[in-house]
Amino acid sequence: MFNDERINAECGKIYSKGILTAVLITFIYVLSRTVTLAIQGTLQTVLTYTEAVIFILGIGILLIGAFRFHNNSDERILFEKHAFYKKSAKIFVIAVFGAYILTIPFTTSEMLGKQPHNHLLLLLEVIGYLYLFYAFKTKEININYSFIAENGWNYYSRVFSNIGILWIGLFVPFILAAAWELALHESWMGMLTILFAYLSSSIGLSVEYFFISLTEKASYDTIEGKRFARGTRISMLVCLTVEFASTVLQCVYVYFVTGDLQNIPNIGNLDSLITFVSHQQLRTDLLLTVLVGLTISHIISQIPKNSLLCKVCRVKMLLLALSVLESTLTPIWYRALSEETLRYLSNNLSGWLRLLSFVITLTLWILFIRALTKELGISRILWMIPASKVFIVCMNIFFQSQSILFASVCISCTIEIASLILLTVILWRYHGFTAESDAEPLFS
């Protein structure tokens, strides 16, 4: 039986910090929404059922853990503590998702204007992925650690059996929620919507889990070579593809929003189409955030922990999480502001914020390229990437006219994609890791 004390100990720590993070993020989200609703004078309820479960269960687990295991010196108590957090984290996730699904029929009305009521769950899901990738890979633990060493057939059989368990596990609360919907509102359409949500959730989570398992196994089997592990390279390639899709959506959005109405073909429901493209772009960006997080965590697992490259990767992971938090909370904060304040902020502050964001991005790129060239000896041609970013900004300063905005965005996006293709090709072809004399993988 697989029972690794190091992994149990690390998982216990990772899960306890994960629960704390989930409670803190929920607190920030709820506080932002409550203040906004109070300012608007439309505050009816402070917490949704899901948020209440997160607070009660999360704080409860952390308090019980703190009181029950305050004496950390005894090894047996430490074992119990780690096992407690591992089990509690499972219960926490099941309870939160269960509460969310079961209460769908009671929360179909939107909480905050156009804010969908699963917004918080989406935020927790994306930050949860980033946190788990980072925490597991920096501790050299695979997510499928208990069967990663098995051969391909056995490994993927276990992966698919886990996916089967996921489908069955989600089926129960969703079917109950659908029955609630039918009994409460006598709405067949509502029931079908919930069943459709079951299908889309199950398919989405299965594809994510399968992809994570695929890259993990590919990395595990090839990490001893001189190249970036195969899982890392697959993640890079998928990132590039999703970035391309996101870029196309951005160009389509700008084309419709800034285009001359007479030149746009006669499309019915143009407004709905623009909203649809905008939503798809947001989703693609969230997916891209998760994929970039996965790729960086794979890179972290293959480089020395005290290197500049590793530090840059850690900062990037933090910035990814902060950007998701910011993009979720900003629309809520904006609703609390009057039109005058928004106009003032738009005229005076947004330019400075964009500049700050650019400076941070550019600094991180410069440090990343410097670390790649100095520590891994990768080609200096990569300096073209930060140079191209500066070029794009200069171009956008000079070409601000509405009539050439579409062309300007297309050129910017093409340069961005070209930079990423260059980075992917160079990292893909890299052969510079030193092999260990023991023929055992060092950074696995």
Partner 1 sequence: MNEKMKQARLEKNLSQTELAKIIGVSRQTINMIEKNDYNPTIGLCRKICKVLGCTLNDLFWEENDV
Residue 194's contacts (CB-CB under 8 Å, 6 or more residues apart) are 104, 105, 174, 177, 178, 181
Contact flag: residue 1 with partner 1 (CB under 8 A): yes
CB of 211 to partner 1, least distance (A): 22
Span from 1-9, 190-198, 311-319, 398-406 in contact with partner 1 (CB under 8 A): 1-9
Nearest to 96 by CA among 132, 130, 127, 120: 120
CB of 439 to partner 1, least distance (A): 8
Span from 86-94, 183-191, 314-322, 433-441 in contact with partner 1 (CB under 8 A): 433-441
CB of 127 to partner 1, least distance (A): 25
Per-residue binder mask for partner 1 (CB under 8 A), 133-172, x = binder = -------xxx--x--xx-----------------------
Contact flag: residue 442 with partner 1 (CB under 8 A): yes
CB atoms near residue 341 (< 10 Å)? 11
Nearer to partner 1, 14 or 123 (CB): 14
CB of 148 to partner 1, least distance (A): 8
Angle at 10 between CA 27 and CA 67, to 5 degrees: 55
CB of 372 to partner 1, least distance (A): 25
Query: Alpha carbon 224 to chain centroid distance?
Result: 28
Nearer to partner 1, 142 or 250 (CB): 142
Nearer to partner 1, 74 or 110 (CB): 74
CB of 3 to partner 1, least distance (A): 6
CB of 142 to partner 1, least distance (A): 8
CB of 143 to partner 1, least distance (A): 12
Phi and psi (nearest 5°) for 46? Answer: -85, -45
Span from 4-12, 95-103, 200-208, 211-219 in contact with partner 1 (CB under 8 A): 4-12
Nearer to partner 1, 141 or 417 (CB): 141
What is the rounded CA–CA span in Å between residue 46 and residue 34?
6
CB atoms near residue 348 (< 10 Å)? 9
Nearer to partner 1, 74 or 326 (CB): 74
Footprint on residues 55-94 left by partner 1 (CB under 8 A): 75
Nearer to partner 1, 198 or 220 (CB): 220
Span from 63-71, 367-375, 388-396, 432-440 in contact with partner 1 (CB under 8 A): 432-440
CB of 436 to partner 1, least distance (A): 10
Nearer to partner 1, 36 or 219 (CB): 219
Residues that bind partner 1 (CB under 8 A): 1-7, 75, 140-142, 145, 148-149, 438-442, 444
